[in-house]
Structure 1
Amino acid sequence: MKTIRTKPHRLPRDRYQGLISAAFTLRLEEPVPFFTTQEIVDVFVEHLRQATSECHVNTIYCFMPEHVHTIAVGTGESSDALRSIEVFKQNTGWWLKTNSPTVSWQKSFWDRIMRSTYELASKARYLVNNPVRRGLVKDWRQYPFTGGIGVILEEFLSDLSPF
């Protein structure tokens, strides 16, 4: 019988540590519109705030109805972008199980480490314009579930504008 080898879909843990930037997309198991009220999104933003603080990263985020985009930016050598998402998913997974048992996260998530300021700028523009592409708003500033933790979103984007 032929052995099928699978390659890991994540880079080694140390690649997510330190002064790096990484984009993550987390999806709900069933694509139901869940992140649709300020009350729900505020709960998840607070969990994201706790996770990013614990892991020493600044984050920009966009909560779409059935998925979440984040970009974590390391603030020092002790930063751990991957761990921040793992902590966030664990804590919010428990919250979902307790408060909304029919909703859960997909087991895994998509990630990408950005290797240049140009790539970071491109991903950040993609993140904030997701609601515009979806037809939810005409300008990303109108979407209430996009923001920053540890950064002022408009300043963050402005600093990246030459790229």
Structure 2
Amino acid sequence: MPVCLNAGRLRIGRFSEPGRIYLITAVVHQRQPFFADWRLGRLVVNQLREAQEDGWADFLTWVVMPDHVHCLLQLRDRTLAEVMCRIKARSSRAVNLALRRQGRLWQKGYHDRAVRKEEDLKDLARYVILNPVRAGLVTRVHDYPLWDACWL
């Protein structure tokens, strides 16, 4: 498992609760569009799936955009910091290896928002998966290769 400095220290006001659903955004360092190459984006997807298979979190929906990732995840037996550290560290290693490069892939940190019970989860999921349409990358989400939702 990757070692992340301060993985146990949460941002002020951040609370990591098992079973809670979070809307997450992680951004590529300097907004470089590495994932415009869908094969590199699949390396991130692989890490989302492995974290789920290992019981860290359930990824309800996600989209890998050219320079960032959005997902709705439900924590299982790890903290939000641990899950994000794992995904970012392992995907960084995989992308750097594929590109034969070194250096930072992701910006430090990530944005998170705990989903309140009264919010409509499916509306948030639609928001996540419609990002490629809003960005003008495709006219229909089904034409974009880097997204998924547990409801489909």
TM-score range, shorter chain: 0.7 to 0.9
TM, length-normalised to structure 2: 0.77
Cα gap change, 1:72 to 1:28, in 2 (>3 Å): same
Q: How many pairs align?
A: 140
- In the aligned structure 1, how far is the partner of 2:44 from the partner of 2:89? 12
The answer for the alignment partner of 2:45 in structure 1 is: 45
Q: How does 1:60-99 map to 2 (within 5 A)?
A: 60-74=61-75, 78=77, 80-98=79-97, 99=100
CA displacement at 1:108 relative to structure 2? 1.0
Q: Is the 8 A contact 2:43 2:94 kept in 1?
A: no
Question: 2:93 is aligned with what amino acid?
Answer: W
Give 5+ residue unaligned stretches, structure 2: 1-9
**Which blocks of at least 5 consecutive residues in structure 1 are unaligned?**
1-7, 155-163
Q: Secondary structure at the match of 2:113?
A: strand
Matched AA of 2:86: V
Contact 1:26/1:106, CA 8 A, preserved across alignment: yes
Which position in structure 1 is the counterpart of 2:3?
Answer: none
Which SS does the other structure have where 1:118 is aligned?
coil
* 1:53-72 residue CA offsets vs partner (Å, 9 max, x unmatched): 33432212101001111110
Report deviation, 1:40: 1.2
Q: Distance in 1 between matches of 2:79 and 2:103?
A: 30
Report how far residue 121 of structure 1 moved: 2.7
Check whether the contact 2:43–2:95 (CA below 8 A) recurs between aligned residues. Answer: no
Question: Deviation per CA, 1:14-55, whole angstroms, max 9, x where unpaired?
Answer: x42321100111111111211023321222211121123334
Contact 1:131 / 1:140 at 8 angstroms: preserved in 2?
A: yes
Larger Rg: 1
Residue 94 of structure 1 and its aligned partner are, at CA, apart by 2.8
Q: Give 3-state SS (helix, strand or coil) of 2:130's partner.
A: helix
Are residues 82 and 103 of structure 1, via their aligned partners in 2, closer, same or farther at CA, if it must alter by over 3 Å?
closer
Matched, 1:34 2:34: yes
